Homo-oligomer: A and B are copies of this chain.
Amino acid sequence: MKTEKISELTTNRLSIYLRCLNELSAEGAKTISSGRLAKRFHLNSAQIRKDLACFGEFGVRGVGYYIADLKEQITKILGLDHKHRVAIIGAGRLGMALTDYYGFTQTNFEVAALFDADEEKIGSKVGKVKVFDLKNFERVIRKEDIDVAVIAVPAQFAQSVLETVAKSGIKAVMNFAPTPLRFADDIKVKTIDLTISLESLSYFLAKPQND
């Protein structure tokens, strides 16, 4: 594998390819060309070839890609060949919705713990997942072997929660609080800001059509 910097847009596309390959595989297909893969899933075949070329030589002339093999390779590249254990901080509606989000339940991400500061919530369960006291964050994530944190608290608490998360040694964070957060270079924080997505829909509605 080349070690050059891979952009997040590339890894996002790898995720999509993986999902497409899973679907083909479930249908019993063994091989597929970049052209047919692109046509079937409305992708760009040159982009597929370019993205995969960042990681090695996967295609076979006259055959295309061996689906099982390519799935395995992408799974490894994305680090999905082992389970990730996830902590969700904030046991409000959003945190609870995320706990049983199909995306988590159907992939290699397993929600292992919820955290909250509200004493009424601490000790309760959402499905099989227990709500712990945020004060015990570091101890619980070590015990539960958690490597991904999801911040689902109101914006004004997000920075302080992120500091607790960073202190515990977790390096991968998904943040739902629509607020700019400060953090060190060795931690990856991905903010999911639904407001920005909404505003891009608003732009689409506002702009003159046919441009």
Q: Is A50 an interface position by the 8 A CB rule?
A: no
Q: Which residues of A (1-27) have their CB < 8 Å from a CB of B?
A: 3-6, 8, 11-12, 14-16, 18-19
Contact-residue size bin, chain A (C-beta under 8 Å from the other chain)? 35 or more
Query: Is the CB–CB distance between B201 and A197 below 8 Å?
Result: no
Q: Is A169 an interface position by the 8 A CB rule?
A: no
Closest residue of chain B to A99, judged by CB?
B93
Residues of B within 8 A of A197 (CB): 174, 190, 192
Tell me the minimal C-beta distance from A15 to chain B in angstroms.
Answer: 4
Tell me the minimal C-beta distance from A162 to chain B in angstroms.
Answer: 14
Q: Is A120 an interface position by the 8 A CB rule?
A: no
Q: Is A147 an interface position by the 8 A CB rule?
A: yes
Q: Is A58 an interface position by the 8 A CB rule?
A: no
